[in-house]
Amino acid sequence: MDYNKFKFDEAQRARESRRKSTNASLKEMKYRLKIGPGDFETKTRKVAGFLADGHKVKITIMFRGREVERPQFGQDILNRIADNVSTVGKVESMPRLDGRNMVMVLAPDKRAQAAHATAKDGDPAPRRPSSGRPGEAGHGAPAPTDTTTATADTAPTADTAPTATAEATPSPAATPSPTAPITLAEDSRNGNPPGPEPDPR
């Protein structure tokens, strides 16, 4: 057997195995207890990207001052992170308190990534909106019919109860939504005088 050929084949095998192996490393993302929703979403999106690339991620919650006396709030943040990245990763080491920090390690989950990819591919295409022509509801669906008009043969009789009328169901414009701001006219209609609230003193 030729020794040089043996060394060449061994080098080729080593190079091939190095090329196939992923260079996974441990990334770290730090959160504070009073993190805002925008920062939380940005950092969690980065964590999901690291997991999708095949890296492990160490999540650190940093406590300041007396925050360390309430570790359950840090646990809640770590649980939210784990729920948000459950499609690409899984919890490798459960949250634990390490001095003034709470630490959790996430690892990529190939099975969850594959299931998420197949579920994403299996979703039906979004429906195209209608072109706005009268009588067209989009994708060959029948045009909606108006069932509120009463004809002569469907008029209510003495033994049948009358159908709901327009007065019984208030229109959406008449009832303000709970999130809509109340204008001065609506405020005075409710019995409250328009303008700023009086001083309670």
Q: Quick check: helix, strand or coil at residue 17? A: helix
Whole-number percent of the chain with pLDDT over 90: 36
CA dist., res. 151 & res. 158, Å (int): 16
14 — pLDDT class (breaks 50, 70, 90): confident
CA dist., res. 17 & res. 11, Å (int): 10
* pLDDT score at 33: 92
Task: Find the largest Cα–Cα distance for the chain.
Answer: 107
Domain locations along the chain = 21-119
- Does residue 4 or residue 180 have the better pLDDT? 4
- Does residue 145 or residue 116 have the better pLDDT? 116
Strand partners, 58: 28, 105
Beta strands in the chain (DSSP E): 26-32, 56-62, 89-98, 101-108
pTM of the model: 0.49
Residue with tokens 């999901």: 48
* pLDDT score at 16: 83
CA distances from 183 to 76, 155, 193 (A): 39, 42, 12
Region label for 58, one of left (φ > 0), alpha (ψ between -120 and 50) or beta (otherwise)? beta
Nearest to 75 by CA among 88, 63, 57, 89: 63
Q: What is the DSSP pairing of strand 89-98 with strand 56-62?
A: unpaired
CATH number of 21-119: 3.30.110.10
**Contacts of 128 by beta carbon, 8 Å cutoff, 6+ apart:** 138, 139
Nearest-5° Cα angle at 33, 27 to 36: 90
* Whether pLDDT at 90 is above 50: yes
* Whether pLDDT at 127 is above 90: no
pLDDT in tens, 31-45: 999 999 999 999 999
Mean pLDDT, residues 13-41: 86
Per mean pLDDT, which of 81-95, 122-136, 145-159 is the most reliable? 81-95
